[in-house]
């Protein structure tokens, strides 16, 4: 049996959406589906959505949908070359705790299994590994920045 989200979990999702640059997000948690939007029109469809939490029953194995990000000039442009990209939506952190040393810094040599950061979603901390060996370049995602699937997190030189 799958644990159901509490009202606090849902309120935390709303707070994260309000603090992020995401326009909308859809999350499935067990047999509960939550759709959040900061606009009057949900990006995923043509019907207007009231900017609030709505729940409906769906299949238990419904996947998490990536949110749409507004195309403002503050969205970073993907750099030329190789990057390590976010494998999920959430909030990217470069360190395990506030004030702690960063997992990795620009110039560090990393292996495929080296942790370079974590992505938090619904209070779950997911370690993000480099996935390839190389030397880290500039971090493209800031610490505590909301990211979506495929957002470049850091440049990496795999030829070094």
CATH number at residue 121: 2.40.50.100
Q: Is 12 within a domain?
A: yes
**Residue 71 pLDDT:** 43
Section 42-68 average pLDDT: 43
**Residue 39 pLDDT:** 61
Residue 29: pLDDT over 50 = yes
Residue 132: pLDDT over 70 = yes
Q: Are 148 and 71 in contact (CB under 8 A)?
A: no
Q: Is 20 within a domain?
A: yes
Q: Is 78 within a domain?
A: no
Residue 78: pLDDT over 50 = no
Number of domains in the chain: 2
Confidence of residue 153 (pLDDT cuts 50, 70, 90): very high
Backbone φ and ψ for 119, nearest 5 degrees, come out as: -120, 125
**Residue 40 pLDDT:** 55
Q: Is 32 within a domain?
A: yes
**Domain co-membership, 95 together with 35:** no
**Domain co-membership, 63 together with 89:** no
Q: Is 76 within a domain?
A: no
Q: Is 93 within a domain?
A: yes
**Domain co-membership, 23 together with 56:** yes
Q: Which domain holds residue 17?
A: 7-69
**Domain co-membership, 61 together with 99:** no
Name the percent of the chain lying above pLDDT 70. Answer: 59
**Domain co-membership, 87 together with 150:** yes
Show the tokens assigned to 52.
Answer: 């609030």
Q: Is 141 within a domain?
A: yes
Which of 15, 39, 69 represents a domain boundary (last residue)? Answer: 69
**Domain co-membership, 48 together with 89:** no
Write the pLDDT tens digit of every residue in 94-127. Answer: 999 989 999 999 999 999 999 999 999 988 999 9
What mean pLDDT value characterizes the chain?
75
Q: Is 16 within a domain?
A: yes
């Amino acid at each position: 049996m799958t644990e159901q989200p509490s009202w606090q979990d849902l309120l935390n999702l709303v707070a994260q959406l309000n603090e992020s640059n995401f326009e909308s997000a859809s999350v499935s948690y067990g047999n509960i589906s939550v759709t959040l939007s900061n606009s009057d029109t949900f990006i995923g469809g043509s019907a207007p959505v009231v900017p609030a939490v709505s729940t409906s029953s769906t299949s238990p194995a419904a996947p998490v949908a990536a949110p749409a990000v507004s195309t403002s000039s503050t969205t970073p442009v993907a750099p030329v070359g190789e990057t390590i990209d976010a494998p999920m939506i959430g909030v990217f952190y470069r360190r395990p705790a506030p004030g702690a040393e960063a997992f990795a810094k620009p110039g560090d040599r990393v292996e495929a299994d080296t942790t370079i950061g974590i992505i938090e979603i619904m209070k779950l901390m997911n370690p993000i590994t480099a996935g390839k060996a190389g030397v880290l370049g500039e971090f493209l995602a800031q610490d505590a920045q909301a990211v979506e699937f495929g957002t470049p997190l850091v440049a990496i030189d795999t030829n070094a």
